[in-house]
Copies of this chain bind each other. A is one copy, B any other.
Amino acid sequence: MPTISKKGIQMPASPIRKLTPFADQAKREGKKIYHLNIGQPDIETPEVMLNALKNIDFKVWAYTPSEGTLSYRTKLAEYYNKINYNISPSDILVTNGGSEAITIAMQACLNPGEEVIIPEPFYANYNGFACSADIIVKPIMSYIDNGFALPSIAEFEKVITEKTKAIAICNPNNPTGYLYSREELEALRELCLKYDLYLFSDEAYREFCYDGREFLSPMHLEGLENNVVVFDTVSKRYSACGARIGCIITKNNELYQTCLKFAQARLSPSLEGQIAGEAAVDTPDSYFEAVSKEYTARRDVLVAGLNSIDGVFCPNPGGAFYVVAKLPIDNADKFCQWILEEFDYNNETVMMAPATGFYSTPGAGQNEVRLAYVLNQDDLKKALKCLEEALKAYSLR
């Protein structure tokens, strides 16, 4: 029997999905599960987007250009220029979800063995993409005590070597919900210019900023045109995770042309996804206002609820729809499995993502979990009650 590749063996299983078999088993046993483990919002996709899908009028479901249709990229550029990105359609490369955007950019920018610095905890699949591209993630620690703020520039400089090629941030952050400030972005700007680094900016959660705080992108900073690579997706913005439409944005034309070669190899993003994505740009402001109001309320319920449980600490995030909370446990992987396998409260339980999968430093985050507030407030309250009872029961085992 032929062997599996080393990369295949090293490739991490998704920490968000790896507990799925235990959840499936719990469901078979009749338990109701509150899914706080995955960033799949329950919010409805905008009607304009679903209607575009229902009203498709092509007879041949054809390839599009590898970079995406001009029509979609033109409309997308409008969206980005409303928020002052000052880009043209030729700066946008449409991808199969944000995931493919990251994979392509990593391969186009970094040689095998080169390094990207990422504040941890970070979106777990960055590990998978890096493993797949044979590049090295250099984590630097951010801390729950200050809400996971950007580590100091001195911390970045400590790990910069000749192999460092890029810094990656996710803003607002998955998994911490942290929203970077202008000062933090300016500091990254200086660092990237000083060391000639790419700045990868994963902006999947751009539309989810709370408490009146403004979203700022490295795209808004001057002099970084050749360094900044934005990753975006319709997944969260329009609650359309299943559409698998994302994009790379860069004003660095040489890099764009290189990414395009990777895109040409896989031929095309989906036609209907781009049609729907184009329609989505006309989603009315009222949709986002309602969504933002709902997420703010959910965040408030979840953060307050968590902090009211004995021994639990959860900072109040400025964006996205995740929190990372510290629990009075010593091993989140075991606890998150236990709560599915061996616990229920009135025949209900909670699925969470152990935070260890979001850290690259071994042993970090062992008493933390990520919770996505993608359920309505009533369900969140029930999930919180479950968690509270579970922690009591766990401590008494």
Residue numbers of A with Cβ under 8 A of B are: 1-2, 4-9, 11-14, 17, 20, 38, 40-45, 49-50, 53-56, 58-66, 96-97, 99-100, 103, 107-112, 114, 125, 128-129, 132, 134, 165-166, 196-198, 226-227, 238-244, 252, 254-255, 258-259, 261-262, 264-273
20 extra interface residue pairs, beta carbon distance < 8 Å, beyond A20-B65, A244-B269, A272-B273: A2-B197, A4-B255, A6-B111, A7-B108, A7-B112, A8-B258, A11-B108, A14-B265, A17-B264, A44-B60, A45-B59, A45-B61, A53-B54, A53-B56, A62-B241, A107-B132, A112-B134, A129-B265, A241-B267, A244-B244
What are 11 sample pairs from A and B whose C-beta atoms fall under 8 A apart?
A: A2-B227, A4-B255, A5-B110, A5-B111, A6-B111, A8-B109, A8-B262, A20-B65, A41-B60, A107-B132, A132-B262
Task: List, in ascending order, chain B residues with CB within 8 A of A45's CB.
Answer: 58-61
Residues of B close to A41: CB separation below 8 A: 60
Q: How far is the CA of A40 from the CA of B62 in the complex (A)?
A: 7
Best-buried of A43, A54, A103, A265 by chain B (most CB within 10 Å)? A265
Q: Would A244 and B261 be within 8 Å (CB), given that A60-B239, A107-B132, A112-B134 are in contact? A: no
- How many Å lie between the Cα of A55 and that of B8 in the bound state? 39
Task: Kindly provide the distance from the CB of A322 to the nearest chain B CB, expressed in whole angstroms.
Answer: 15
A261 — which chain B residues lie within 8 A by C-beta? 8, 11-14, 128
Residue in B6, B49, B100, B111 whose CB lies within 8 Å of A7: B111
With contacts A112-B112, A134-B134, A258-B8 taken as known, whether A243 is within 8 angstroms of B270 at the C-beta atoms is yes
Chain B residues near A272 (CB-CB < 8 A): 53, 242-243, 272-273
The complex places the Cα of A9 from the Cα of B339 at a distance, in Å, of 49
In angstroms, Cα B239 to Cα A266, docked, is 17
